[in-house]
């Protein structure tokens, strides 16, 4: 490589020149990594990659810090999981919740973004209102909504005033609590969708809309034929972000319902994994649950990204 | 929206939807200024009488709940964000300037971290922290935050690094500047918009984090704002005065931060969304 550099200095400024300037040997590159790359990589490895490997390792054991000895049990945790009602229920309710949260804020967010896509102080102020939940802590949002939805809370006060005799127990009825939880997350994520769709709408060229209008396309036709295809990247971002945030929902469950009412009516998979690990101390089994969660989330993200990206290109 | 709709239809509809959406925010703010009795019986009405008693009680509590929580939150957020900025800027620069197979592999490994839920790694993280004696301490939480959020920082910085011309760095290298000097004197100041994004997003996220401080700081080792609110709900379920004033005072800092930097916040969020 040294001779390579030695023969080159006279050469005209070719494509190869910049590429070769840096390769004066291996030590400068090692030093570059040690000084610039290594600190961040090291902490990332210690606190993310190693824990994932450890999780995977422990998922093959019966590890319980208060009940030694720890033995290797192979895939038994995974076999147990597939027959475990608590785990299967958590998977089912997490799926329902994720489906609601992916669809509702996407649809409402698009509608509201179209409504707010104008200039003026009113629309700016309203954008601020819709975006505020994005900077609030999930804990704060959960506490406020708990007060809203309690049996004697404002929601039921209004319903009673409207003449509803026996308003539902939004957080105390095992059949309803999951949907209350989904509503809260939808409310929290709505602002994000609005902002992303507004940004997408601002990228639609005015001339294109005017040309379509001159060609005789009505507002509905203009929206579906011109605007909607140009919102494809916004739809991708919203869907993937909603998918991930809904699937790993934990804070709201912990604050609002503690997994109840009843047995596990709102115990999402993230909540169950934390309970199993830190309350029941079955850390081996909890690791298997965590690994399962990671696999599902990775698969969901990969598939939805692939599908939505292809859709972007097709349009 | 029909072209034939009257001109007042859109503002009216927007206002109605906005007002409906605003109700929970209103409930959160208004109850801070009511007597605990009124919060219990009338959570949605106007304060009657208007009172600052909840706030003054919170700020003068003998157990120092607010001041201890807010100090911990400021320390954890401030330290995490500072370390994260330095480490992800340098790592991002390294990756952007190392387009080898090794650099690309490293980048991919980091990007995987963007979607890992904290619940998956928290139990093993506690073993790691216990092994180095940092379990239950603020530095332990800061270290975890740095590891967990460094992929996001790197993602933002490498994306932005593409707009920084390489020629500038090469010219400085010819003039004899060291790599550190080139980065900190020339490149880093050019990355200000990326730095702003990282500071804003990670600042808000880390301030609002709940499960990480709950597990890592543990029950005995002090609280942050979020775990403080959670524990108040658990211990004094009906002490609404404390809960609502703590939420109010704990949100003010992040809300002020947001109001000042709202434009940056939205710009950072939508930068990747529209280009796809």
CATH 1.10.3720.10 fits B61-270, yes or no: yes
Q: How confident is the model at residue B87 (pLDDT cuts 50, 70, 90)?
A: very high
Measured between beta carbons, the chain A residues lying within 8 angstroms of B21 are: 129-130, 187, 190
Q: In this structure, are A85 and A22 located in the same domain?
A: no
pLDDT (0 to 100) of residue B46: 79
Q: In this structure, are A150 and A274 located in the same domain?
A: yes
Measured between beta carbons, the chain B residues lying within 8 angstroms of A297 are: 115, 117
pLDDT in tens, A60-70: 887 877 777 77
Per-window interface: B 56-115 vs A, CB < 8 A: 87-88, 90-91, 93-95, 98, 106, 109-110, 113, 115
Contact across the interface for A48 and B1, Cβ inside 8 Å: no
Q: In this structure, are A8 and A117 located in the same domain?
A: no
pLDDT (0 to 100) of residue A99: 94
Measured between beta carbons, the chain B residues lying within 8 angstroms of A287 are: 123-124
Measured between beta carbons, the chain B residues lying within 8 angstroms of A270 are: 117, 119
Contact across the interface for B211 and A254, Cβ inside 8 Å: yes
Residue A173 sits in a domain whose CATH number is: 1.10.3720.10
Contact across the interface for A140 and B95, Cβ inside 8 Å: no
Give percent of chain B above pLDDT 70. Answer: 92
In terms of pLDDT, which residue wins out, B108 or A183?
Answer: A183
The 3-state secondary structure of B37-89 reads HHHHHCCCCCCCCCCCHHHHHHHCCCCCHHHHHHHHHHHHHHHHHHHHHHHHH
Question: How far is residue B19's CA from residue B29's CA, in Å, rounded to a whole number?
Answer: 15
In-domain check, residue A50: no
Over range A74-80, report the average pLDDT: 84
Does residue B94 sit in helix, strand or coil? helix
The dihedral sign for the CA sequence B16, B17, B18, B22:
positive
Contact across the interface for B147 and A297, Cβ inside 8 Å: no
Nearest to B66 by CA among B56, B75, B53: B56
pLDDT in tens, A21-48: 445 577 877 888 888 888 889 999 988 9
Residue pair A308/A235 in contact (Cβ under 8 Å)? The answer is yes
* Facing A41 at nearest CB: one of B44, B91, B166: B91
Residue pair A48/A54 in contact (Cβ under 8 Å)? The answer is no
Nearest to A40 by CA among B179, B124, B152: B152
Nearest to B258 by CA among B209, B207, B213: B207
In terms of pLDDT, which residue wins out, A256 or A314?
Answer: A256
Q: How confident is the model at residue B234 (pLDDT cuts 50, 70, 90)?
A: low
Give percent of chain A above pLDDT 70. Answer: 92
pLDDT (0 to 100) of residue B137: 87
The angle at the Cα of A17, spanning A14 to A23, to the nearest 5 degrees, equals 160
pLDDT (0 to 100) of residue B4: 64
Over range A82-87, report the average pLDDT: 88
Residue A7 domain boundaries: 2-42
Instruction: List the beta bridge partners of residue A61.
Output: A72
In-domain check, residue A8: yes
pLDDT in tens, A250-292: 999 998 988 878 788 889 999 999 988 888 888 888 899 999 9
Q: Give yes or no for residue A110 having a pLDDT over 60.
A: yes
In-domain check, residue A148: yes
Residue pair B153/B84 in contact (Cβ under 8 Å)? The answer is yes
The 3-state secondary structure of A75-91 reads CHHHHHHHHCHHHHHHH
Decide if B27 touches A, using CB distance below 8 A: yes
For chain B, give the mean pLDDT: 83
The angle at the Cα of B249, spanning B246 to B251, to the nearest 5 degrees, equals 100
Q: How confident is the model at residue B235 (pLDDT cuts 50, 70, 90)?
A: low
Q: How many CB pairs under 8 A join A and B?
A: 253
Over range B125-138, report the average pLDDT: 88
Measured between beta carbons, the chain B residues lying within 8 angstroms of A290 are: 119-121, 123
Model pTM greater than 0.80? yes
Written as six digits, the tokens of A41 are 């990589």
Looking at chain A, which residue has its C-alpha nearest residue B10? A115
Residue pair B249/A312 in contact (Cβ under 8 Å)? The answer is no
Q: What are phi and psi of A137, to 5 degrees?
A: -70, 145
What are the boundaries of each domain within chain B? 61-270
Decide if B253 touches A, using CB distance below 8 A: no
In-domain check, residue A60: no
Residue whose pair of structure tokens reads 């994004």 in the numeric block:
B197
Looking at chain A, which residue has its C-alpha nearest residue B122? A51
Give percent of chain A above pLDDT 90. Answer: 25
Q: In this structure, are A82 and A16 located in the same domain?
A: no
- Rounded to 10°, the helix B9-30/A138-149 angle is 90
B62 Cα to chain A: minimum distance (Å): 23
A81 Cα to chain B: minimum distance (Å): 16
Question: How far is residue A64's CA from residue A71's CA, in Å, rounded to a whole number?
Answer: 10
Nearest to A232 by CA among A109, A314, A301: A314
In terms of pLDDT, which residue wins out, B274 or A116?
Answer: A116
pLDDT (0 to 100) of residue A16: 43
pLDDT (0 to 100) of residue B165: 81
Q: Give yes or no for residue B200 having a pLDDT over 60.
A: yes
Instruction: List the beta bridge partners of residue A104.
Output: none
Q: What are phi and psi of A86, to 5 degrees?
A: -60, -45
Q: Give yes or no for residue A12 having a pLDDT over 50.
A: no
Does residue B176 sit in helix, strand or coil? coil
Q: In this structure, are A174 and A266 located in the same domain?
A: yes
Does residue B33 sit in helix, strand or coil? helix
Q: How confident is the model at residue A218 (pLDDT cuts 50, 70, 90)?
A: confident
Decide if B18 touches A, using CB distance below 8 A: yes
Nearest to A283 by CA among A87, A34, A90, A54: A54
Give chain A's domain count.
2
The per-residue DSSP string of B225-238 comes to HHHHHHHHHHH-TT
Sequence-distant contacts of A143-147: CB under 8 A, at least 24 apart: A143/A255, A143/B229, A143/B233, A143/B243, A143/B247, A144/B24, A144/B25, A144/B27, A144/B28, A144/B247, A145/A180, A145/A184, A145/A187, A145/A256, A145/B24, A146/A171, A146/A255, A146/A256, A146/B233, A147/B27, A147/B31, A147/B39, A147/B43, A147/B240
pLDDT in tens, B29-72: 888 888 877 777 777 777 777 888 888 878 878 777 888 888 88
Residue pair B47/B39 in contact (Cβ under 8 Å)? The answer is no
pLDDT (0 to 100) of residue A11: 41
Residue whose pair of structure tokens reads 């460094």 in the numeric block:
B150
User: Taking the CA of residue B154 as centre, how many other CA atoms within 13 Å lie in the half-sphere pointing to its CB?
Assistant: 32
Question: How far is residue A285's CA from residue B123's CA, in Å, rounded to a whole number?
Answer: 12
Measured between beta carbons, the chain A residues lying within 8 angstroms of B24 are: 141, 144-145, 148, 187
In-domain check, residue A271: yes
A27 burial (CB, 10 Å; 0-12 / 13-18 / 19+) is exposed
Over range B69-77, report the average pLDDT: 91
* Facing B120 at nearest CB: one of A40, A55, A158: A55
* Facing B148 at nearest CB: one of A47, A247, A297: A47
The CA distances from residue B150 to A3, A166, A179, B79, B109, in Å, are 40, 51, 34, 14, 12
Report the helix count and the strand count for chain A, using DSSP H and E.
18, 0
Contact across the interface for A237 and B273, Cβ inside 8 Å: yes
Written as six digits, the tokens of A159 are 């319903």
Instruction: List the beta bridge partners of residue A72.
Output: A61
pLDDT (0 to 100) of residue B164: 80
Alpha carbon B65 to its chain's center = 21
In-domain check, residue A101: yes
Measured between beta carbons, the chain A residues lying within 8 angstroms of B170 are: 18, 21
Contact across the interface for A148 and B10, Cβ inside 8 Å: no
pLDDT (0 to 100) of residue B237: 57
pLDDT (0 to 100) of residue A8: 42
Q: Give yes or no for residue A93 having a pLDDT over 90.
A: yes
In-domain check, residue A67: no
Measured between beta carbons, the chain A residues lying within 8 angstroms of B273 are: 196, 199-200, 233-234, 237
Tally of residues, chain B = 276
Measured between beta carbons, the chain B residues lying within 8 angstroms of A154 are: 23, 27, 43-44
Q: Give yes or no for residue B263 having a pLDDT over 90.
A: no
ipTM: 0.87
Written as six digits, the tokens of A184 are 């809260």
Contact across the interface for A112 and B17, Cβ inside 8 Å: yes
Q: In this structure, are A260 and A141 located in the same domain?
A: yes
B267 Cα to chain A: minimum distance (Å): 9
A83 Cα to chain B: minimum distance (Å): 21
Q: In this structure, are A20 and A111 located in the same domain?
A: no
Neighbouring C-beta atoms of residue B95, cutoff 10 Å:
23
Does residue A61 sit in helix, strand or coil? strand
Contact across the interface for B262 and A219, Cβ inside 8 Å: no
pLDDT (0 to 100) of residue A307: 87
Measured between beta carbons, the chain B residues lying within 8 angstroms of A130 are: 18, 21
Decide if B272 touches A, using CB distance below 8 A: yes
Residue whose pair of structure tokens reads 């700016």 in the numeric block:
A124
Measured between beta carbons, the chain B residues lying within 8 angstroms of A118 are: 10
Alpha carbon A295 to its chain's center = 15
Decide if B240 touches A, using CB distance below 8 A: yes
Looking at chain B, which residue has its C-alpha nearest residue A47? B147
Decide if B229 touches A, using CB distance below 8 A: yes
pLDDT in tens, B146-199: 999 999 999 888 888 877 888 888 888 888 888 888 888 888 888 888 888 888
Q: In this structure, are A108 and A9 located in the same domain?
A: no
pLDDT (0 to 100) of residue A10: 42
Per-window interface: B 136-195 vs A, CB < 8 A: 143-144, 146-148, 150-151, 154, 166, 170, 179-180, 183
Q: In this structure, are A13 and A105 located in the same domain?
A: no
Q: How confident is the model at residue B271 (pLDDT cuts 50, 70, 90)?
A: low
Q: Give yes or no for residue A9 having a pLDDT over 60.
A: no
pLDDT (0 to 100) of residue A212: 85
In-domain check, residue A99: yes
């Amino acid at each position: 490589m040294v001779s390579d550099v030695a023969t080159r200095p006279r050469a005209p400024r070719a494509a190869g020149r910049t590429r070769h300037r840096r390769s004066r040997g291996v030590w400068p590159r090692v030093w570059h990594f040690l000084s610039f790359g290594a600190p961040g990589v090291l902490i990332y490895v210690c606190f993310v990659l190693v824990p994932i490997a450890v999780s995977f390792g422990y998922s093959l054991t019966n590890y319980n810090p208060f009940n030694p000895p720890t033995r290797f049990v192979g895939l038994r945790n995974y076999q147990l999981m597939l027959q475990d009602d608590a785990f299967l229920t958590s998977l089912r309710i997490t799926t329902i919740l994720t489906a609601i949260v992916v669809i509702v804020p996407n649809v409402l967010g698009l509608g509201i973004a179209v409504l707010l896509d104008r200039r003026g102080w009113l629309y700016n102020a309203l954008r601020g209102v819709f975006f505020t939940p994005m900077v609030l802590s999930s804990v704060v949002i959960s506490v406020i909504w708990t007060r809203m939805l309690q049996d004697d809370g404002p929601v039921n006060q209004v319903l009673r005033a409207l003449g509803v005799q026996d308003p539902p127990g939004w957080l105390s009825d095992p059949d309803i609590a999951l949907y209350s939880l989904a509503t809260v997350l939808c409310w929290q994520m709505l602002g994000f969708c609005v902002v992303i769709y507004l940004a997408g709408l601002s990228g639609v060229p005015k001339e294109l809309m005017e040309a379509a209008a001159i060609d005789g396309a009505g507002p509905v036709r203009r929206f579906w034929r011109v605007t909607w295809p140009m919102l494809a990247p916004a739809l991708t971002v919203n869907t993937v972000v909603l998918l991930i945030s809904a699937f790993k929902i934990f804070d709201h469950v912990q604050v609002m319902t503690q997994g109840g009412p009843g047995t596990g009516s709102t115990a999402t998979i993230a909540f169950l994994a934390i309970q199993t690990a830190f309350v029941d101390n079955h850390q081996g089994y909890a690791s298997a649950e965590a690994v399962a969660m990671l696999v599902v989330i990775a698969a969901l993200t990969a598939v939805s990204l692939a599908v939505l990206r292809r859709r972007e290109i097709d349009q | 929206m029909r072209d034939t709709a009257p001109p007042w239809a859109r503002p009216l509809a927007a206002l109605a939807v906005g007002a409906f959406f605003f109700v929970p925010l209103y409930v959160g703010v208004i109850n801070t200024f009511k007597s605990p009795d009124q919060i219990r019986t009338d959570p949605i009405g106007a304060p009657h009488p208007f009172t600052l008693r909840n706030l003054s009680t919170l700020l003068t509590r003998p157990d120092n709940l607010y001041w201890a929580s807010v100090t911990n939150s400021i320390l954890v957020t401030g330290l995490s964000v500072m370390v994260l900025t330095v480490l992800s800027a340098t790592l991002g620069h390294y990756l952007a300037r190392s387009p080898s197979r090794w650099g690309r592999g490293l980048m991919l490994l980091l990007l995987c971290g963007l979607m890992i839920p904290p619940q998956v790694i928290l139990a093993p993280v506690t073993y790691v922290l216990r092994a180095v004696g940092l379990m239950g301490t603020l530095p332990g939480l800061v270290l975890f935050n740095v590891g967990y959020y460094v992929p996001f920082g790197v993602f933002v910085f490498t994306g932005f690094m593409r707009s920084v011309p390489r020629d500038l760095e090469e010219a400085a290298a010819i003039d004899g500047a060291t790599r550190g000097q080139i980065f900190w004197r020339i490149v880093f100041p050019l990355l200000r918009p990326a730095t702003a994004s990282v500071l804003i997003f990670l600042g808000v996220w880390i301030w609002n984090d709940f499960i990480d401080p709950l597990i890592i700081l543990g029950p005995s080792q002090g609280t942050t704002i979020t775990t403080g609110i959670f524990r108040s709900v658990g211990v004094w379920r009906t002490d609404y005065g404390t809960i609502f004033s703590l939420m109010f005072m704990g949100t003010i800092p992040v809300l002020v931060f947001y109001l000042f930097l709202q434009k940056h916040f939205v710009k950072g969020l939508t930068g990747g969304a529209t280009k796809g």
